[in-house]
Amino acid sequence: MDIKFLTDIGFLIGSVGFVWGLKLLSSPDSARRGNTIASIGMGAAIISIIFAPLNQGDNNYPWVIAGLAIGAIIGYLMAMRVKMTAMPQMVSIFNGLGGACAVLIGMVELRHFYTGASAMSGGQIAISLSALFIGGIAFTGSILAWFKLEDWLRDNALILPKHSIFNMALLVVILAMGIYIYVQNIDAGIGLAAIFMVLALVYGVSFVVPIGGADMPVVISLLNSFSGLSAASAGLIYGNNFMLVGGILVGASGTILTVLMCNAMNRSLLNVLIGGFGGGAAGASKGAVGGQVAKEVTLNDAAIQLYYSGSVMIVPGYGLAVAQAQKVCKEIDDLLESNGVDVKYAIHPVAGRMPGHMNVLLAEADVPYPKLLDLEDANAALKNTDMVVIVGANDVVNPAALDDPGSPIYGMPVLQVWDAKNVIVLKRSMNPGYAGIQNPLFFHEKTRMLFGDAKDTLSKLVTEIKNL
């Protein structure tokens, strides 16, 4: 049977696996199965492309097998060891490596062209340059995002004066150079292509530098779409339909998610990219800010209020992930439910450090998906909620987004927890959240603060509830 026919069948299986898997990923109940199906599709495509060169008499199986083995070992070890709090960093690395692959592919093909080893049409040159440009942004931009998420680099450490103007100027230079290389064709030379690649890599860093920490979920999603587009470019270079389909799926889904997250923050993508808010405000001392004093609640009082409430809404944030307190939170949920308390969870679209972070976190603790309410449903339910427990969230429950035109987050849709009858906030201290903005909710008349590590505090709360 013709090898090309078998290869095409493998690519078809891979494409169907990707589409089917992506569809199943839309629900936590089927996400694990979707991930498995997409992985099987990827495996089928990899096997197909390995055997594709047989009819050409040109292959490097030792290199291919060695690369697969090394990549599989590294990927397995990373997946097994990564903590839930470090998942955004891992996603950033994946995005970056995808972009790096596109850069290498584009550069190798241009080198073959300029050294006379192969011929390229004008369209192929344009596609290779696109792979260099988009892949370069995805690579270095994702690595910088990784550094920021790990707190290895301050948000404002590399910002230049008039940084947005510098970015625009650099972008114009890169696009002009790309057009020049395309027009010059073979006369441009590999040296100019190499300079184009370096400028694209520099732009990736400069692109992410001004973006504040609070906008990292949007950045990760956007860079994910870039890595998908770079993969699609590589697919066009090699005429690989599977890479093209996979890249388009990743690019499209990343773009859609980016737009949805910007809408959830009531900000345009341009506003995010030119450098919005993102945290450098100094933290305030525990208990008082600007003459206002936060009221505290004891563990016993908090336990009594929760146990005898009719309804409780839990608002998870990054602090819950850092403390790895999701399972203890679920234990409190079970105790309250056993006493007839209706427990729900309010999930803000940009809670955590990446899209869907809180959903994944709570799924790990076996919280039933119907208990998770999105922003609109949660706000509607909060008006009839007796108690709200905020665990490690800050910016997504900040009333300044609605009533303070001078606030950097003004206009951002937030969870209106103050509509509930009572609010308890679990925090380590009165320090501002990731956006570096103080939260007036902490001083609201309905709010009581419960200070301490989330996991330790919730564990003590479990003990208090059991003693009632």
Tokens of 447: 């709010």
Beta pairing, strands 292-293 & 288-289: antiparallel
Question: What does the block give as tokens for 403?
Answer: 């009533």
Q: Has 2 been annotated as catalytic? A: no
Separation of alpha carbons 453 and 391, rounded Å: 10
Distance CA 49, CA 45 (A): 6
Give the Cα separation of 215 and 324 in Å (integer): 23
Strand partners, 387: 312, 422
| Active-site residue, selected from the candidate residues 187, 395, 419, 453 | 395
**Which token pair is 34?**
């979707």
C-beta separation of 92 from 143 below 8 A: yes
C-alpha dihedral over 320, 326, 330, 335, to 10 degrees? Answer: -60
Dist. CA 178–CA 131, nearest whole Å: 12
Distance between CA atoms of residues 25 and 31, nearest Å? 4
The backbone torsions φ and ψ at residue 315, rounded to the nearest 5 degrees and listed phi first, read -110, 105
How is residue 370 annotated by DSSP? G
Tokens 């114009």, residue located: 172
Q: Rounded to an integer, what distance in angstroms lies between the CA atom of residue 71 and that of residue 73?
A: 6
Q: How far is CA 296 from CA 140, 427, 442, 446, 451, in A?
A: 45, 11, 10, 11, 8
368 φψ region: left (φ > 0), alpha (ψ -120 to 50), beta (else): beta
Structure tokens at 300: 């016993």
Cα distance from N-terminal residue to C-terminal residue, the chain: 73
Catalytic residues: 395
